[in-house]
């Protein structure tokens, strides 16, 4: 009985320290020291939140670079993946459908191979990145849709390549598209 | 390629240094030798004991120690269960999530209390901020501290002689939490936030996308929970997809920190063992055994995953690279390292979807969990399982050389062997029974996301994860049904307590024995022969148990894919 009483009190004290004090203190530090990052690295455009630097967004129009397929349709309120095994017929059905659309949209040859990331669903359904080659593959299409020079778009892509020390170079699709919009807007002015 | 080798080497060296550093610190602090820089905390520690009517100087025998541990875990279980049932009417729930269904709540409470952190729910759409903090974060700490406390009792069983006393559970628990887990978590939390991991009480944010649509973005006090989920071998994510979510793991630096944190304390526990025994060589040799097992797993998984998917390659994916269920910023390499680390320990967090791995890489993950996660294992319990394997090995060695088996100066009799066999076999037997039930009834099969051999793999993985107290998943399996919530809940309880209870009984029995001096005829336990024998026992026992089942799941799937 004495053990139960001790157990209950120790549990209550630790719940207070670890369950309230600790997360509240951490949130306080976070909001003081890194307010932008701790709140989700939001991008504000024209006074409105346009998305998060870290969270991918759905792009379907030909004027924008497209990100990776998402099993959850880029729903930032509920992350998720396809969870299909490597031999699953449903997965390969999806892949061949995506390959067809991608090739048609970008004027590729019917048997041209494409980078894996553009036709496979990410783990989070919110992957903000695509590979460098996946971005380059879309440049001609975007140039045509926006009536801009391919070289200009390619140079925008090149400035947005993130090269981590121990990983593959990749491009943040949302930031890239924002830059694209900006450069188009500058041209109009 | 060279880059990746440098990275692996760097990770390995950080682990050895970090492990030795914290291992020595733990050995000191947990035996009561606080350094000067921590003595100022002693009044707080003592106040806590006084408030809870605890006599910190009074040591316990194994039964009292066990009873305290069970009472404490039981209260934690009931509280977490109840909290979820009423979260709908409690504060800190800005997104107005409803109270959790009873079977999900029960499964989650068992899961977090047993350090499994299997999640049949989806974090951002099920749990309020209050539940995540006051319920889940608290259990993240306390289940990890419970594991370390059990390990401390076992170590004292080896060190002490002719006594019944194994230490005081409350003291072990409190010191582990306050001096080890909490400070490390605070440091990691701040580092993670500085990289973009969210920590806020704001509700989900609504954004207007570039194409004019609306995107809801869930946020929350995530960093403080992610830190301890990685450090304490817990693994339960704040968000549904765990550390694959950009808000849990935004870049390769956080990925390094989180991978390191998975392996850090399990490694430190091994070195702590050496320091407490005053026999560092013994700790180093066990570390070598674990490293050997870890590298074998890692090598096998990297080869399997890098082969690529031949079906995708035929369809037109360059080199058939298997990016399904992986994040671009991690790629195949960092996803595989994480997968091996998280299943070789009992962590269970993921940064990619194991369900979509190539069959043999998935097999490696299942095997790691099936053998009970001994390389490097969960905090505390990983080394406990390894000690049981060592006892089995010493028994086999004893048979070969015709002497009574002994380890660290303690004779291992029938009682110790029985405890070792219960601890090693009970989780495996539970695993196979649970998987067997699930494939035999319609409720089990209705949850499958994949057809054919991979469907069996999904069930085998779930059972392995529950009974190994791991928590990672082939997440296609819809486990949020009453059937799986209850079945896997039982598996988690068996996996946890069939390890911890025999361990405490073993500690009690060992402490009462006398220490026998080392002679010429004693089988040396700090050499290469010992290391290789232990590793062989682990692998052979696992292979004999699981091969028939794996051959119908991942191996069959592999053969079909590559025919």
pLDDT digits (tens, 9 = 90+) for B32-68: 887 777 888 889 999 999 999 999 999 999 999 999 9
- For B246, the 3-state DSSP assignment is coil
Chain A nearest CA to B157, separation (Å): 22
Q: Would you say residue B371 lies in a domain?
A: no
Residue B178: domain span:
2-205+218-279
φ/ψ of residue B87, rounded to 5: -60, -25
Greatest distance between any 2 Cα atoms in chain B: 80
Contacts of B216 in chain A (CB under 8 A): 75-77
The secondary structure of residue B39, as a DSSP letter, is G
Asked whether the beta carbons of residue A85 and residue B124 sit closer than 8 angstroms, the reply is no
Nearest CA-CA partner of B147 in B177, B121, B120:
B177
- Same domain assignment for residues A55 and A102: yes
| Tokens (6 digits) for B310 | 């031949």
Q: Measure the CA–CA gap between B203 and B128, rounded to whole angstroms.
A: 10
pLDDT by 10s per residue, chain A, length 189 = 789 999 999 999 999 999 999 999 999 999 999 999 999 999 999 899 999 999 999 999 999 999 999 999 999 988 899 999 999 999 999 999 999 999 999 999 988 999 999 999 999 999 999 999 999 999 999 999 999 999 999 999 999 999 988 888 999 999 999 999 999 888 777
Mean pLDDT across B459-472: 96
For residue B242, the model assigns a pLDDT of 96
Mutate to test the interface with B, among A1, A4, A10 (most CBs of B within 10 A): A10
Asked whether the beta carbons of residue B209 and residue A91 sit closer than 8 angstroms, the reply is no
Q: Would you say residue B379 lies in a domain?
A: no
Chain B nearest CA to A151, separation (Å): 23
Query: What is each CA distance from A55 to A80, B246, B370, B440, in whole angstroms?
Result: 13, 6, 35, 41
pLDDT digits (tens, 9 = 90+) for B109-162: 999 999 999 999 999 999 999 999 999 999 999 999 999 999 999 999 999 999
Q: Would you say residue B185 lies in a domain?
A: yes
Answer yes or no: is pLDDT of B243 > 80: yes
Q: Measure the CA–CA gap between A24 and B91, rounded to whole angstroms.
A: 14
- Same domain assignment for residues A161 and A91: yes
| Tokens (6 digits) for B29 | 């602090």
- For chain B, the domain total comes to 1
Nearest CA in chain A to B55: A6
Q: Measure the CA–CA gap between B367 and B544, rounded to whole angstroms.
A: 11
Chain A nearest CA to B313, separation (Å): 8
C-beta separation of B322 from B305 below 8 A: yes
For residue B36, the model assigns a pLDDT of 73
Query: What is each CA distance from B449 to A185, B239, B413, in whole angstroms?
Result: 46, 21, 48
CA angle centred on B98, ends B97 and B102, rounded to 5° = 135
Asked whether the beta carbons of residue A59 and residue B210 sit closer than 8 angstroms, the reply is yes
- Same domain assignment for residues A46 and A138: yes
- B268 — pLDDT class (breaks 50, 70, 90): very high
φ/ψ of residue B521, rounded to 5: -85, -5
Q: Measure the CA–CA gap between B410 and B157, rounded to whole angstroms.
A: 9
Q: Would you say residue B258 lies in a domain?
A: yes
- For A161, the 3-state DSSP assignment is strand
- Same domain assignment for residues A4 and A64: no
What is this model's ipTM? 0.96
- Same domain assignment for residues A61 and A126: yes
- B350 — pLDDT class (breaks 50, 70, 90): very high
* A1 Cβ contact partners less than 8 Å away, ≥ 6 residues apart: none
Nearest CA in chain A to B168: A3
Please give the helix or strand (H or E) that residue A50 lies within, else none.
strand A48-52
Q: Would you say residue B322 lies in a domain?
A: no
The sign of the torsion formed by the CA atoms of B456, B461, B467, B473 equals: negative
Q: Would you say residue B98 lies in a domain?
A: yes
Q: Measure the CA–CA gap between B479 and B462, rounded to whole angstroms.
A: 9
Q: How many CB atoms lie within 10 A of CB B71?
A: 20
Chain A nearest CA to B560, separation (Å): 8
Asked whether the beta carbons of residue B190 and residue A55 sit closer than 8 angstroms, the reply is no
C-beta separation of B329 from B251 below 8 A: yes
Residue A71: domain span:
40-188
Q: Tell me which residue in A23, A59, A96 faces B211 most closely, judged by beta carbons.
A: A59
For residue B304, the model assigns a pLDDT of 97
SS (H, E, C) B467-505: HCCCCCCCCCCCCCCHHHHHHHHHHHHHHHHHHHHHHHH
- Same domain assignment for residues A72 and A4: no
CA angle centred on B74, ends B108 and B243, rounded to 5° = 30
Q: Would you say residue B125 lies in a domain?
A: yes
- Same domain assignment for residues A22 and A92: no
Q: How many CB atoms lie within 10 A of CB B437?
A: 15
| Tokens (6 digits) for B446 | 């209705």
* B265 Cβ contact partners less than 8 Å away, ≥ 6 residues apart: B22, B144, B180, B184, B231, B232, B233, B379
| Tokens (6 digits) for A80 | 């998720």
For residue A78, the model assigns a pLDDT of 87
Nearest CA-CA partner of B231 in B186, B290, B288:
B186
Q: Tell me which residue in B4, B204, B320 faces A77 most closely, judged by beta carbons.
A: B204
B538-555 burial, b at 16+ Cβ within 10 Å, e below that, comes to: beebbeebbeebbeebbb
Predicted TM-score (pTM) above 0.90: yes
Contacts of A38 in chain B (CB under 8 A): 193, 197-200, 223
- Same domain assignment for residues A106 and A34: no
Half-sphere exposure of B544 (CA within 13 A, CB side): 7
For residue B341, the model assigns a pLDDT of 97
| Tokens (6 digits) for B255 | 């990925």
- For chain A, the domain total comes to 2
* B72 Cβ contact partners less than 8 Å away, ≥ 6 residues apart: A7, A10, A11, B142, B146, B169, B173
Query: What is each CA distance from A158 to A130, A169, B84, B453, B480, in whole angstroms?
Result: 13, 11, 49, 44, 45
Nearest CA in chain B to A169: B329
- Same domain assignment for residues A51 and A20: no
Nearest CA in chain A to B68: A3
Nearest CA-CA partner of A77 in B205, B94, B91:
B205
- Same domain assignment for residues A34 and A45: no
Q: Would you say residue B333 lies in a domain?
A: no
For chain A, first and last CA: distance in Å? 79
Q: Measure the CA–CA gap between A73 and A57, rounded to whole angstroms.
A: 9
- Same domain assignment for residues A95 and A177: yes
- Same domain assignment for residues A55 and A97: yes
Q: A162: which strand partners?
A: A170
SS (H, E, C) A129-158: EEEHHHHHHHHHHHHHHHCCCHHHHHHHHH
| Tokens (6 digits) for A137 | 């593959």
C-beta separation of B141 from A10 below 8 A: no
Mutate to test the interface with B, among A1, A2, A18 (most CBs of B within 10 A): A18
Query: What is each CA distance from B32 to A129, B224, B245, B560, in whole angstroms?
Result: 49, 28, 40, 58
Q: How many CB pairs lie under 8 A apart between chains A and B?
A: 361
């Amino acid at each position: 009985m004495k053990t139960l009483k001790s157990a209950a009190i120790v549990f209550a004290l630790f719940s207070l320290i670890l369950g309230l004090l600790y997360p509240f203190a951490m949130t306080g530090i976070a909001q003081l020291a890194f307010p932008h990052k701790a709140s989700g690295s939001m991008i504000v455009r024209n006074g409105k939140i346009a998305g998060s630097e870290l969270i991918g967004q759905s792009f379907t129009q030909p004027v924008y670079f497209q990100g990776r397929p998402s099993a959850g349709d880029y729903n930032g309120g509920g992350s998720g993946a396809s969870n299909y095994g490597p031999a699953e017929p449903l997965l390969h059905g999806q892949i061949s459908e995506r390959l067809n659309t991608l090739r048609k949209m970008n004027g590729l040859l019917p048997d041209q191979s494409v980078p894996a990331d553009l036709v496979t669903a990410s783990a989070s359904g919110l992957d903000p990145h695509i590979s460098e080659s996946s971005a380059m593959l879309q440049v001609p299409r975007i140039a045509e849709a926006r009536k801009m020079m391919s070289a200009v778009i390619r140079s925008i892509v090149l400035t947005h390549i993130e090269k981590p020390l121990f990983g593959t170079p990749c491009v943040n699709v949302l930031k890239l598209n924002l830059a694209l919009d900006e450069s188009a807007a500058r041209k109009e002015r | 390629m060279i880059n990746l080798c440098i990275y692996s080497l760097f990770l390995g060296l950080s682990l050895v240094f970090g492990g030795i550093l914290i291992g020595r610190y733990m050995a000191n602090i947990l035996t009561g030798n606080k350094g000067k820089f921590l003595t100022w905390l002693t009044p707080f520690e003592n106040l806590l004991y006084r408030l809870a009517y605890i006599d910190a100087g009074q040591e316990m025998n194994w039964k009292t120690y066990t009873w305290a541990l069970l009472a404490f875990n039981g209260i934690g279980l009931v509280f977490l269960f109840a909290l979820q049932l009423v979260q709908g009417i409690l504060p800190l729930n800005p997104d107005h999530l409803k109270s959790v269904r009873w079977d999900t709540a029960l499964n989650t409470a068992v899961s977090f209390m047993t350090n499994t952190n299997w999640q049949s729910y989806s974090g951002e759409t099920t749990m309020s901020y209050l539940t995540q903090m006051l319920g889940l974060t608290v259990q993240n700490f306390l289940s990890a501290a419970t594991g370390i406390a059990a390990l401390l009792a076992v170590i004292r069983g080896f060190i002490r002689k002719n006594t019944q006393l194994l230490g005081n559970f409350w003291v072990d628990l409190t010191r582990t939490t306050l001096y080890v887990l909490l400070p490390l978590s605070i440091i990691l939390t701040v580092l993670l936030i500085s990289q973009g991991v969210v920590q806020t009480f704001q509700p989900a944010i609504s954004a207007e996308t570039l194409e004019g649509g609306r995107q809801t973005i869930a946020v929350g006090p995530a960093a403080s929970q992610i830190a301890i989920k990685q450090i304490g071998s817990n693994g339960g994510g704040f968000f549904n997809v765990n550390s694959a979510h950009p808000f849990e793991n935004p870049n390769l630096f956080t990925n390094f920190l989180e991978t390191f944190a998975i392996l850090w304390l399990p490694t430190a526990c091994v070195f702590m063992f050496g320091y407490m025994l005053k026999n560092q060589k013994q700790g180093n040799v066990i570390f070598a055994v674990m490293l050997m097992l870890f590298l074998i797993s890692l090598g096998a998984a990297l080869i399997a995953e890098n082969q690529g998917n031949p079906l995708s390659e035929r369809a037109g994916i360059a080199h058939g690279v298997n990016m399904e269920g992986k994040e671009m910023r991690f790629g195949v390499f960092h996803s595989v390292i994480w997968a091996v680390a998280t299943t070789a320990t009992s962590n269970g967090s993921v940064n990619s979807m194991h369900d979509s791995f190539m069959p043999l890489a998935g097999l490696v993950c299942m095997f790691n969990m099936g053998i009970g996660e001994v390389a490097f294992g969960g905090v505390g319990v990983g080394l406990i399982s390894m000690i049981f394997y060592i006892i089995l090995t010493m028994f086999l060695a004893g048979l070969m050389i015709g002497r009574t088996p002994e380890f660290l100066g303690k004779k291992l009799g029938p009682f110790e062997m029985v405890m070792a066999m219960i601890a090693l076999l009970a989780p495996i037997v539970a695993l196979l029974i649970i998987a067997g039930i699930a494939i035999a009834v319609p409720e089990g099969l209705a949850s499958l996301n994949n057809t054919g051999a991979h469907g069996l793999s999904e069930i085998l993985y779930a059972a392995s994860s529950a009974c190994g107290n791991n928590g990672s998943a082939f997440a296609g399996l819809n486990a949020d049904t009453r059937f799986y919530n209850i079945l896997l809940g039982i598996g988690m309880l068996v996996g946890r307590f069939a390890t911890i209870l025999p361990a405490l009984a073993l500690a009690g029995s060992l402490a009462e024995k006398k220490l026998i001096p080392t002679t010429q005829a004693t089988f040396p336990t700090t050499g290469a022969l010992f290391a290789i024998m232990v590793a062989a026992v682990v692998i052979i026992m696992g292979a004999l148990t699981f091969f028939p089942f794996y051959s119908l799941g991942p191996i069959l799937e592999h053969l079909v894919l590559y025919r």
